[in-house]
């Protein structure tokens, strides 16, 4: 009886499923149309909610090839950092004298964030969304091309540089004068001269209105590219504002006209926590290379520098290890700590006891 009941259960379930399927099949078009309409409404409602919550504005659209963004913000990063700490920036591109922006500045200063936020604002405007800025007048773009970040493709045997060149080739073949191109540090995966040569040629190719003429944001550490501003009428230089305080730097996150004259790589390495011995040695080598570059005399960089931690020399009047606890009270506290049974103390009791010891020492 149990086995028979189980078979009847499965049969009844399948019959109910078939009945529902047959009934839905008669109205499949209506069901699909309803689902599509609900999805469309859901997308619009989500965009409206985000726009209201994050104070987005309605952009103007134009067909004159102008991208004019005032106080643009990155829609994601502004939400994950401290409130009101995101620094907004302007963007202006057109099809004539402001077609290409060469952006220089150190790593971590905000170049990639600035370029990505511009691409996102253009994309959001074209799908009908309000955008994160104070004011925006954005042209209709046929496509947005990006070459940002570094990655390799080990499965197909392609290095980081090869992947980068494949993406650049795709952009140059398919972009038009109505496209927006975002390029981040083209040519960094090979030798300095080869990388600089490729980056220079790419900018010239894009700048030629007879060949491509697309609006472009181009971030680079090749400061030689800033010379193109004087050679090509459509190229303009911008950099990230930096405040120097001795050997330390502060990123102001503001895009300003002009080119950076250095990359502050050693200072960035220091901020990242690279050991001081390495930082100091890097400064020495940098000074040698800089002097070599200005004088033209090739100097040899001595190797074999020891980075081992040096033990402090013992002073002549050092008669041994001093006691950690000098006073009677401190010695008493040391004895109490040695006999303390932490396993039988609650966190609250431990905190109170620690406060008591601190009061006794002060």
User: Is the torsion defined by CA of 123, 126, 131, 136 positive or negative?
Assistant: positive
Res 138 pLDDT > 80: yes
Domain end position, chosen among 263, 282, 311: 263
In a domain, 233, yes or no: yes
Residue 7 included in any domain: no
Stated pTM of the model: 0.72
Alpha helices (H) in 94-249, listed in sequence order:
111-126, 160-174, 192-207, 228-231
Q: How confident is the model at residue 82 (pLDDT cuts 50, 70, 90)?
A: confident
pLDDT of residue 56: 96
pLDDT top residue among 326 and 161: 161
Q: Given a cut of 80, is residue 266 above it in pLDDT? A: yes
Same domain (yes/no): 204, 276: no
Please, which residues have CB within 8 angstroms of residue 75's CB and are 6 or more apart in sequence?
50, 54, 117, 120, 121, 124, 132
Question: Which pLDDT belongs to residue 63?
Answer: 92
Judged by average pLDDT, the poorest of 25-29, 31-35, 158-162, 205-209 is: 158-162
In the predicted model, is pLDDT for residue 49 greater than 90? yes
> How many structural domains comprise the chain?
2
The two tokens of residue 52 are 């209201």
pLDDT surpasses 70 at 237: yes
The answer to whether 103 and 220 are in contact (CB under 8 A) is yes
Asked if pLDDT for residue 296 goes beyond 80, the answer is no
Same-domain status, 163 and 113: yes
In a domain, 286, yes or no: yes
pLDDT value at residue 218: 96
Q: What is the pLDDT of residue 294?
A: 61
Region of poorest pLDDT, from 22-36, 163-177, 317-331: 317-331
**Can you tell me the distance from the alpha carbon of 3 to that of 20, in angstroms, rounded to the nearest whole number?**
26
Domain shared by 206 and 270, yes or no: no
Choose the weakest-confidence range: 86-100, 130-144, 326-340.
Answer: 326-340
More confident residue, 312 or 60: 60
Asked if residue 351 is part of any domain, the answer here is no
pLDDT, position 71 = 95
Residue 83 confidence (pLDDT) above 70: no
Q: What are phi and psi of 234, to 5 degrees?
A: -95, 0
C-alpha to C-alpha distance for 181 and 170, rounded to whole angstroms:
12
Q: What range does the domain containing 165 cover?
A: 51-263
pLDDT in the model for residue 356: 83
Instruction: Please say if the pLDDT value at position 310 is more than 60.
Output: no
Co-location of 69 and 158 in the same domain: yes
Return the residue matching tokens 């901020």.
271
Give Cα separations from 140 to 57, 96, 123, 124, 338 (angstroms): 17, 16, 10, 11, 74
* 279 is a domain residue: yes
Q: Considering only residues 74 and 4, tell me which one the structure prediction assigns the higher pLDDT.
A: 74
Q: Are residues 181 and 283 in the same domain?
A: no
Q: What pLDDT is stored for residue 293 in this prediction?
A: 62
**11: left (phi > 0), else alpha (psi -120 to 50), else beta?**
alpha
pLDDT value, residue 183:
94
Residue 221 has pLDDT above 60, yes or no: yes
Q: Are residues 241 and 290 in the same domain?
A: no
Is the predicted pLDDT of residue 157 greater than 80, yes or no? no
209 with 288, same domain: the answer is: no
Q: Does 115 lie in the same domain as 182?
A: yes
In percent, how much of the chain has pLDDT > 90?
51
pLDDT in tens, 184-199: 988 877 778 898 999 9
Residue 31 included in any domain: no
Task: Please check whether residues 74 and 95 belong to one and the same domain.
Answer: yes
pLDDT bucket at 52, cuts 50 / 70 / 90: very high
Answer for the pair 78, 192: CB distance below 8 angstroms, yes or no.
no
Contact 201, 186 (CB under 8 A): no
Of 315 and 168, more confident: 168
Same domain, 90 and 229: yes
pLDDT at 156: 64
- Whether residue 35 is contained in a domain is answered as no
At residue 328, does pLDDT exceed 70?
no
Distance, in Å, from the CA atom of 202 to the CA atom of 168, rounded to the nearest integer, reads 9
Mean pLDDT on 233-247 = 87
d(Cα 147, Cα 214) in Å, to the nearest integer? 15
Of 294, 310, 338, the residue that ends a domain is 294
Same domain assignment for residues 128 and 91: yes
Q: Decide which of 307 and 56 is more confident.
A: 56
pLDDT at 174: 95
Say if 62 falls within a structural domain.
yes
Judgement on whether residues 167 and 272 belong to the same structural domain of the protein: no
Q: Please report the pLDDT score of residue 331 as a whole number.
A: 73
pLDDT of residue 186: 87
Which tokens hold the place of 114?
Answer: 């600035």
Among the listed residues 63, 34, 67, the one whose alpha carbon sits nearest the alpha carbon of residue 217: 67
CATH number assigned to the domain comprising residue 205 = 3.40.50.300
Count of other CB atoms within 10 angstroms of residue 172 = 16
What torsion, rounded to 10 degrees, do the Cα atoms 76, 81, 82, 85 define? Answer: -80
């Amino acid at each position: 009886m149990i086995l028979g009941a189980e078979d009847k259960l499965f049969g009844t379930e399948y019959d109910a499923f078939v009945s529902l399927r047959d009934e839905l099949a008669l109205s499949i078009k209506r069901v699909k149309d309803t689902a599509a309409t609900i999805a469309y409404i859901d997308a619009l409602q989500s965009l409206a909610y985000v726009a209201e919550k994050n104070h987005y504005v309605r952009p103007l659209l134009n067909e004159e090839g102008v991208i004019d963004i005032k106080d643009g913000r990155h829609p994601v990063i502004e939400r994950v950092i401290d409130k009101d700490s995101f620094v907004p920036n302007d963007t202006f591109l057109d099809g004539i004298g402001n077609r290409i922006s060469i952006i220089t500045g150190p790593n971590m200063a905000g170049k990639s964030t600035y370029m990505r936020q511009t691409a996102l604002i253009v994309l959001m405007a074209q799908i009908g969304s309000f955008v994160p800025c104070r004011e925006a007048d954005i042209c209709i773009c046929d496509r947005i091309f990006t070459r940002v970040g570094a990655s390799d493709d080990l499965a197909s045997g392609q290095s980081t540089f090869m992947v980068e060149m494949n993406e650049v080739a795709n952009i140059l073949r398919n972009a038009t004068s109505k496209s927006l191109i975002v390029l981040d540090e083209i040519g960094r995966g090979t030798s300095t001269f080869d990388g600089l040569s490729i980056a220079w040629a790419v900018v010239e190719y894009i700048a030629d209105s007879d060949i491509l003429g697309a609006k472009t944001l181009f971030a680079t550490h090749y400061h030689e590219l800033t010379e193109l501003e004087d050679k090509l009428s459509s190229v303009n230089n911008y950099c990230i504002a930096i405040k120097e305080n001795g050997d330390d730097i502060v990123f102001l996150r503001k895009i300003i006209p002009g080119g950076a004259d250095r990359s502050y790589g050693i200072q960035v390495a220091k901020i990242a926590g690279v050991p001081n011995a390495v930082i100091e040695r890097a400064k020495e080598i940098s000074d040698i290379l800089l002097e070599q570059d200005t004088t033209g005399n090739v100097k040899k960089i001595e190797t074999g520098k020891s980075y081992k931690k040096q033990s402090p020399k013992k002073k002549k009047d050092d008669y041994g290890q001093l006691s950690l606890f000098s006073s009677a009270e401190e010695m008493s506290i040391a004895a109490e700590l040695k006999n303390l049974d932490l396993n039988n103390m609650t966190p609250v009791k431990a905190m109170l006891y620690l406060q008591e010891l601190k009061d006794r020492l002060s």
